């Protein structure tokens, strides 16, 4: 299966199959899209229903694709509303877990991938896109720096709540954000979101040192 997938990828990029020829021969997007669709169908043919489900865009994803992540105002507003409705704040109002656990979640990019065992604990992979603790050697820069995040906000309880909501569903504040909506499909649990919120807001967290 893996070897076959690799062969298909190689064929697409090296141009040895009809599909690849079709992609190269112009008159895109129709022909290119159909070659891509065939490639995806082939690649996912052995996947179980759970995985196949991931190929179905929800309404927000479809709208973001359609407008290339730059939706007109009315659609943006509809997305914001729809996504805000998915956010479940903790019932007891406490959005802060353990920063030590949050640090591990922020550093962990495994879980939920084809190559992971299904029971692999998922991470948030926050460092792939954000600077957080200044002591951390490497980080991505797709998202803004979150260094001293809680400190810069006076450790305010209100800001912590907004941050929990941001991590739960980034698109409730920025439609078509490229930050994953961690809470929506339970990718991270509410407890994990509380833990990373604490990593950003606890006075003792290396983020605020």
Distances (CA, A) of 161 to 166, 180, 195, 200, 201: 9, 18, 13, 12, 10
Can you say whether residue 135 is alpha, beta or left, with left for phi > 0 and alpha for psi between -120 and 50 degrees? alpha
- In angstroms, what CA-CA distances link 37 with 19, 34, 54, 173, 203? 10, 5, 15, 32, 49
Minimum Å gap between C-beta 19 and ligand HEC is 29
| Interacting positions 88-117 with ligand HEC (CB under 6 A) | 106
Q: How far apart are CA 209 and CA 203, in angstroms?
A: 8
Q: Which residue, among 169, 109, 102, has the nearest Cα to 139 in the 3D structure?
A: 109
Q: Which residue in the set 87, 174, 190, 206 belongs to the binding site for ligand HEC (CB under 6 A)?
A: 174
Q: CB 38 → ligand HEC: shortest distance, Å?
A: 28
Greatest CA separation for the chain: 60
Among 12, 64, 80, 130, binds ligand HEC (CB under 6 A): 130
Give yes or no for a contact between 124 and 108, defined as CB atoms under 8 angstroms apart.
yes
Interaction mask 134-163, ligand HEC, x per CB under 6 A = --------xxx-x----------------x
User: Would you state the structure tokens that stand for residue 25, as one six-digit string?
Assistant: 């021969």
Q: Using CB under 6 A, which of the segments 38-46, 58-66, 74-82, 176-184 binds ligand HEC?
A: 176-184
In angstroms, what is the minimal distance from the CB of 196 to ligand HEC?
4
| From candidates 60, 63, 169, 170, binder to ligand HEC by CB under 6 A | 170
Position among 97, 111, 124, 150 found at the interface with ligand HEC (CB under 6 A): 124
What single-letter DSSP state applies at residue 162?
A: H
Please state the closest distance from residue 7 (CB atom) to ligand HEC, in A: 29
| Residue whose CB is nearest to ligand HEC in the complex, by number | 124
Distance in Å, CB of 10 to ligand HEC, minimum? 27
Phi-psi region of 125 (alpha: psi -120 to 50; beta: other; left: phi over 0): left
Q: Which of 139, 168, 182, 201 binds ligand HEC (CB under 6 A)?
A: 182
How many Cβ atoms sit within 10 Å of the Cβ of residue 40? 12
Q: Does residue 128 interact with ligand HEC by CB under 6 A?
A: yes
Interface contacts to ligand HEC, rule CB under 6 A: 106, 124-126, 128-130, 142-144, 146, 163, 166-167, 170, 174, 177-180, 182, 196
């Amino acid at each position: 299966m893996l070897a076959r997938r690799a062969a298909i990828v190689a064929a697409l990029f090296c141009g040895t199959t009809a599909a690849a020829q079709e992609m190269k021969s112009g008159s895109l997007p129709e022909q290119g899209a159909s070659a891509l669709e065939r490639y995806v169908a082939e690649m996912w043919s052995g996947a179980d229903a759970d995985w196949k489900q991931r190929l179905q865009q929800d309404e927000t994803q479809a709208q973001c694709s359609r407008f290339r992540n730059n939706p007109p105002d009315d659609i943006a507003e509809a997305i914001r509303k729809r996504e805000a409705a998915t956010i479940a704040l903790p019932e007891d109002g406490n959005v802060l877990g353990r920063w030590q656990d949050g640090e591990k979640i922020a550093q962990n990019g495994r879980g939920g991938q084809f190559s992971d065992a299904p029971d692999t604990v998922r991470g948030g992979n926050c460092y792939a896109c954000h600077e957080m603790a200044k002591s951390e050697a490497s980080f991505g820069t797709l998202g803004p720096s979150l260094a001293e995040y809680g400190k810069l906000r006076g450790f305010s309880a209100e800001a912590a709540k907004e941050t929990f909501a941001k991590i739960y569903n980034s698109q409730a504040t920025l439609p078509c954000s490229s930050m994953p909506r961690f809470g929506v499909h339970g990718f991270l649990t509410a407890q994990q979101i509380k833990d990373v919120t604490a990593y950003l807001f606890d006075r003792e967290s290396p983020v605020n040192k």
